[in-house]
Amino acid sequence: MPQNLLDLDLEGLTAWFTELGEKPFRARQVFHWIHQSGVADFAQMTDIAKSLREKLQQHAMVKAPSINYAHVSADGTRKWLFDVGPGGGAAHAEDDSGSSRDQVWRNGVETVFIPEDDRGTLCVSSQVGCALECTFCSTGRQGFNRNLSVAEIIGQLWVAHHSLKIEPNRTTGEMSDRPVTNVVMMGMGEPLANFENVVTALGIMLDDHAYGLSRRRVTVSTSGLVPAMDRLAERCPVALAVSLHAPNDALRDQIVPINRKYPLADLMAACRRYLVHAPRDFITFEYVMLAGVNDQPEHARQLIELTRDVPCKFNLIPFNPFPDSGYEKPRAEAMRVFRQILQDAGQVVTTRKTRGDDIDAACGQLAGKVADKSGRVMKRLHREAA
């Protein structure tokens, strides 16, 4: 099987070239061609010896996930559904007549690009589905299949970056060599549950020979996998966002089940440790507001007390409805009061704009297509039916 070069950071690519009997600088050349120029055809890498190009054609490939569809929202937000291959092979099933048939399931992950006047933010997925089962998240309700490979993670950026480079900016009408200025690992999946592949992909994003993004402009979001937060601080400290969503353990246990393993006291301690290494001097706490569940004034006051010793800012996110979620969007007045309480206590607070909801690209709406190996969907349906 040819080596997919999108799976390798520069160090890994250099080692692979050494095994081929090639000099290290050749790896840097190819790395530039792939990531900075978006070239997948070795024949087009014109400053590389023909003999090496022929060797690469025999032993390597540059293969990003294929695009099933791409949608553009009225506000300019883009969403791609990437095909990441068979999700579990052939599944045995019966049709209405009772006869068996084979169903070949495929998996898809979604990636969203959000253009703004001063930046372009790409929201990248790290897993096919998600195993954490946060109750308000459409992705979590789809179950879980597998982790994405490095090539499948960085391939989302590779496709978006190089396809957007050839399109004019919607606001200015100008072309840009760097349409993607920020990356947030906030798509499908829990990034820190796919630690090694995500860290390798982050290294490629940050590498000056590839995309050259700064650590401040790359954000990893986690629901609170405390040991992996500590590992990220040591290996690749980028900006950190924590999906908080509740100000006390009793409520968070219900809506973010990983809290039962890593409760809030442990999570806040991990946040303080992370800040020693972080490129920013604060943690961003993401807080999806659910009408009548976590949007009351007492919840805001509890948040102030919970985060008193953690330099932070809050990003309030109005819940984006999806079918059968069981939750409703908060009232505007409830959000205003909640925000004001936090601000009066000296907290920095932003309210996330709902972008791309007409193409189901808003926060919490990413679902993709998941062949659920975990069986979580069926277990949830049985629980709800009981």
Q: Check if the beta carbon of residue 370 is closer than 8 Å to that of residue 87.
A: yes
Catalytic, out of 130, 134, 236, 363 = 363
Contact 16, 27 (CB under 8 A): yes
Is residue 271 annotated as a catalytic residue, yes or no? Answer: no
Sheet strands (E) in 45-96? 60-61, 66-72, 78-94
Q: How far apart are CA 332 and CA 346, in angstroms?
A: 21
DSSP structural state of residue 354:
-
Copy the structure tokens of residue 43: 């024949």
Q: Look up residue 20 and give its two tokens.
A: 């081929």
Residue 363 appears among annotated catalytic residues: yes
Angle between helices 10-19 and 24-31 in degrees, nearest 10: 130
Task: Check 22, 110, 190, 286 and give the catalytic one.
Answer: 110
CB atoms within 10 A of CB 252: 23
The Cα–Cα gap between 109 and 86 comes to 12
- Give φ, ψ of 67 to 5 degrees: -95, 120
Active site residues: 110, 363
